């Protein structure tokens, strides 16, 4: 945590999960089911949000999940999540997914996802969270892009 007790660095929210794709995770083509991957993404992102806010966090929205490449039976899946930007009670969490085939020695970036989480208090009411401080150029880029995605989300919500 930084000197200010109400802010944290992006690096303090990073969560990495590793999963092995087993037969019960796959479809008839021996590819990882999209729903199973979305479940893993949601868990990894929720943990990053909770790590940042020191609170239970609930999923408010999923912007999109890009499926770049299939993930096969037997692949090892690594998910890395971090908070891109924190607002008053909500935060955007980005998740990158990689699959590895140890036999072939390959590693592929397969998916990207952006989710919004809200930190809640003991009465399950939204509560303020820590500000986030990006340090690296990559963190600053994601921080800026998160604001644009939030503005787009709010614009879509107001047009409903």
pLDDT tens track for 105-132: 999 999 999 999 999 999 999 999 999 9
Structure tokens at 70: 């299939």
- If one compares 155 and 30, the residue with the highest pLDDT of the two is 30
Per-domain boundaries in the chain: 7-159
Counted residue by residue, the chain has a size of 160
Are 66 and 97 a contacting pair, CB within 8 Å? no
* Confidence (pLDDT) at 3: 42
CATH number of 7-159: 3.10.129.10
Q: How far is CA 121 from CA 46, 53, 59, 98, 125, in A?
A: 15, 11, 14, 33, 5
56-67 vs 15-20, strand pairing mode: unpaired
- Quick count: other Cβ atoms within 10 Å of Cβ 81? 27
* Confidence (pLDDT) at 159: 76
Q: How far apart are the first and last CA of the chain?
A: 39
pLDDT tens track for 65-97: 888 999 999 999 999 999 999 999 999 999 999
Q: What is the pTM of this model?
A: 0.91
């Amino acid at each position: 945590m930084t000197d200010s007790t109400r802010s944290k660095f992006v690096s303090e929210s990073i969560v990495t999960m590793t999963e092995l794709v087993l037969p019960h995770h796959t479809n008839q083509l021996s590819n990882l089911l999209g729903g199973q991957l979305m479940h893993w993404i949601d868990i990894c992102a929720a943990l990053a949000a909770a790590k940042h806010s020191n609170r239970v966090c609930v999923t408010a929205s999923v912007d999109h999940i890009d499926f770049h490449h299939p993930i096969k039976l037997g692949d090892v899946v690594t998910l890395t999540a971090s908070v891109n930007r924190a607002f008053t009670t909500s935060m955007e969490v980005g998740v990158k997914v990689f699959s590895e085939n140890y036999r072939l020695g390959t590693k592929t970036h397969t998916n990207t996802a952006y989710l919004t989480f809200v930190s809640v208090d003991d009465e399950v009411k939204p509560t303020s969270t820590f500000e986030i401080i990006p340090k690296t150029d990559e963190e600053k880029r994601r921080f800026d892009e998160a604001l644009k995605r939030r503005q787009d989300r709010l614009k879509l919500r107001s047009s409903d």
